Amino acid sequence: MSRLRSVTDLLAELVSIPSVNPHGEPGTAGVGEGALAKHLAEFLSGLGAEVQLKEILPGRPNVYAVFHPDKTVRQQLAFAPHTDTVSVAGMTVAPFKPEIRNGRLYGRGASDTKGPMAAALWALAQWSRSRERLQSQTRWTFAALMDEEAAQEGSQAWGASGFKADLVIVLEPTEMKVVHAHKGTTWISLRTAGRACHASMPQEGVNAVLKMRRVIDTLEKKVIPVLKRKKNRSLGSVTFNVGIIRGGSKINIVPDRCEIECDIRTIPEFEGRAVLELIRREVGRVVPDFRLEKVKIAPSIYVDPKLPWVRKLSEGMRGVTVAPWFCDSAFIAKAGRPAVALGPGSIEQAHTRDEFIRLSDLEDGYKRFLKFIQSN
């Protein structure tokens, strides 16, 4: 840590360590969170934390670091960033060679979510050497979780482990506004099957792509209008997006298969299983032999902003808000263990071709986190 002079230095170091989620098309040969997890474990051990690496999938561990107080424990608080990033395919800036220009740091993860991670880590680093650390009665946990950008295996494992916390701060770029409610997500794959034959005699086969056209038409005309009518006062309506379509093997062969992958953002009044029932009913009427596969169902979340710890946190931040996206808090929060999302940077920069975070926002986030840590 001695070579690091600022939170900016720390963020640059984190960005330079690839941790791309292998789901989909990562855009790089180096995937997985293992290298970053090892680096975080060493950093946190150097601050005096008790650190454990827990492998969730092969080569893809969670990092659990606990700062035990010298005095009797009065409260248990936690930071929980995710260690993976999305694909680097198509980026217009170097994903793993952080560049600073015009008051911004560019690179994959700068905003989502290595920026918020760096702010919290740097705050813990300063606190760990302070007088407040010696007087603290808080057991702080830093849980760095794998796979948030796909199936959320990391947060599901930690959430099911039975750990205790009075508040979990899930680190995400929220412009330092406390996100106390967000939508859920349901990812599905829909498939149609056909019969291949020579394209010069299409009548001898069954075109799976044309069958999928009927599926998509039904989704657009029968399913999406229903979802738009399902609304939550804070989060708005359920949304539906067809993100990927693939089918066929060659231009002169009638395709015997077609698949689409869909992203649905849900609300407490209409969660994933209700969406699946609607799709099965409506699409099944038109294409009875279609196949539906669940990729992931993560629930929406609502945490009462008037809860004492949520209120105390928000007093030192930029207020409270809700979000249309999902994050790991959905699998972490439960009765007696509220989880909110918070961190510097903007979600508008997440997953972009030129991802960046403003250094002024990074510095502000670190200082606000430090003040909150020192006050407990």
State the pLDDT at residue 2.
53
CA-to-CA distance for 221 and 227, rounded, in angstroms? 11
CA-to-CA distance for 183 and 81, rounded, in angstroms? 18
Bridge partner list, 66: 50, 141
CA-to-CA distance for 14 and 92, rounded, in angstroms? 19
C-alpha dist (Å) from residue 161 to 64, 155, 158, 168, 169? 12, 10, 5, 14, 17
State the pLDDT at residue 149.
95
State the pLDDT at residue 112.
97
Which of these, 351, 330, 367, 316, lies nearest to 122 by C-alpha position?
367
Encode pLDDT of 160-208 as tens digits: 999 999 999 999 999 999 999 999 999 999 999 999 999 999 999 999 9
3-state secondary structure of 254: coil
State the pLDDT at residue 254.
98
State the pLDDT at residue 3.
83
Check if the beta carbon of residue 184 is closer than 8 Å to that of residue 272: yes
pLDDT in tens, the chain (376 residues): 558 999 999 999 999 999 999 998 999 988 999 999 999 999 999 999 999 999 999 999 999 999 999 999 999 999 999 999 999 999 999 999 999 999 999 999 999 999 999 999 999 999 999 999 999 999 999 999 999 999 999 999 999 999 999 999 999 999 999 999 999 999 999 999 999 999 999 999 999 999 999 999 999 999 999 999 999 999 999 999 999 999 999 999 999 999 999 999 999 999 999 999 999 999 999 999 999 999 999 999 999 999 999 999 999 999 999 999 999 999 999 989 999 999 999 999 999 999 999 999 999 999 999 999 999 9
Give the domains, in start order, of the chain with CATH numbers.
7-182+300-374 (3.40.630.10), 184-298 (3.30.70.360)
For residue 95, the surrounding DSSP H or E stretch is none
State the pLDDT at residue 173.
98
Which of these, 101, 83, 90, lies nearest to 15 by C-alpha position?
83
CA-to-CA distance for 119 and 123, rounded, in angstroms? 6
Which of these, 90, 80, 109, 93, lies nearest to 20 by C-alpha position?
109
State the pLDDT at residue 216.
98
State the pLDDT at residue 24.
85
